[in-house]
Structure 1
Amino acid sequence: MSTITEAQEALAQIHASRAQLARIVPCPPSRHLAFAALEAGIVASPAAAPYQLLALAPLLLGLVLIVRWDRRRLGMFINGYRRGRTRRVIAAFLPIVAALYAASVYFVLARQMVWPSLVLGAIMFAVATWMSMVWQRVFVRELEAGL
């Protein structure tokens, strides 16, 4: 077999693998909601001051469980910070998380008000659910395009 034929077959296998992954990667709504709950928990965590570190512990456990869930479902965990077009989604998302978290900290520490942190956490839940779905759509398009 020629080197060119072998290379063409290898490329065909790569494209077939990407197409198969694009078919199975879309996750159930519960996966988007689980991610959103973690993000909302981070934003709302200042409300638990002075026990904020204790409030973050279940979130770390939740992260571990999501990674395990993805590995069982897909055979791997796909890092959200991967290179490609999905990084633009994350670049748009992180400033929102940072701003909502900073506002949450401000209300708790400077104003001694807990309820705004909870409201900001609810806002983060909605934003994170939407961003998770957008990220998935962009990732599937990348796979289908062979990027």
Structure 2
Amino acid sequence: MTRDEDALRMLAEVQAAGEDLARRARAPVWYHPALGLLMGGLIAVQTQPLLLVFGYYALFVLGLLLLVRAYKRHTGLWINGYRAGRTRWVALIMVALVALAMLLAVWLVRERGLTLAPLVFGALVAVLVAMGGQIWQAAFRADLRDGRPL
């Protein structure tokens, strides 16, 4: 076998491994909506009494831990959401949108007296995060198919 043939064979193996990972890297159907609900809840509780807010924070952390565990069990891997590649932009945009929604909801309650704002923005964030999770997943799988490292 020549060096060129050997290099082509190794390249084909790397591409096949990327395709295999891209097939496996699909979260359960309920994963992104569950993450969206957790994130939306963060917005929804912001103007509640501190005991309720801190209780939700504990539930939020527990929920995230369970989601990570379920994802690892389902796919066999876990990837940092801010990894280099297409996914980083998706993650950063989602963080910015969630932070903006949280700040706006709290401002609307405190400055305008719109007490339903956290619930409305929480519901909006739940949907956006669920959709953003699907976009992130598609970007990650595309990166894998293109041979970008994990």
**What is the TM-score of this pair, normalised by structure 2?**
0.84
* Cα-to-partner distance string for 1:92-141 (whole Å, 9 max, x where unaligned): 21111111111233244455654211111000011111111111111111
Amino acid in the other structure paired with 1:132: G
User: Which is further off, 125-134 or 100-109?
Assistant: 100-109
Structure 1 unaligned spans of 5+: none
Structure 1 residue runs of 4 or more that deviate by more than 4 Å after TM superposition: 1-10, 108-113
**Percent identity between the two aligned chains:** 32
Indicate conservation of the 8 Å contact 1:80/1:87, yes or no.
yes
Aligned partner letter, 1:56:
Y
Name the SS for the 1:29 alignment partner. Answer: coil
- Say whether the 8 Å CA contact 1:46–1:108 is kept in structure 2: no
- 1:63: Cα distance to partner? 0.3
What is aligned with 1:65?
66
Could you report, residue by residue, the CA deviation over 1:19-53 in whole angstroms, capped at 9, with x for unpaired residues?
10111212232011111112111222213332211
Aligned to 1:13: 13
Which SS does the other structure have where 2:46 is aligned? helix
TM score, norm. by length of structure 1 = 0.86
- Residues 27, 75 of structure 2: 8 Å contact kept: no
Contact 1:47–1:118 (CA<8 Å) still a contact in 2? no
Over the residues paired in the alignment, what is the CA RMSD in angstroms?
2.2
In structure 2, the CA distance between the partners of 1:28 and 1:17, relative to structure 1 (3 Å rule), is same
Task: Identify unmatched segments of 5+ residues in structure 2.
Answer: none
Cα distance between partner residues in 2 of 1:2 and 1:49: 71
Distance, in Å, in 1 between the alignment partners of 2:8 and 2:41 is: 48
Equivalent AA in structure 2 for residue 137 of structure 1: A
Shift of 1:7: 5.6
**Aligned equivalents of 2:55, 2:104: Cα separation in 1:** 20
Kindly indicate whether the alpha-carbon contact (under 8 Å) linking 1:48 and 1:55 is maintained by their aligned counterparts in 2. no
Distance 1:4 1:44 in 2: 59
Letter in 1 for 2:43: V
Amino acid across the alignment from 1:50? L
CA distance in 2, matches of 1:18, 1:118: 41
d(CA) in 2 for partners of 1:3 and 1:67? 42
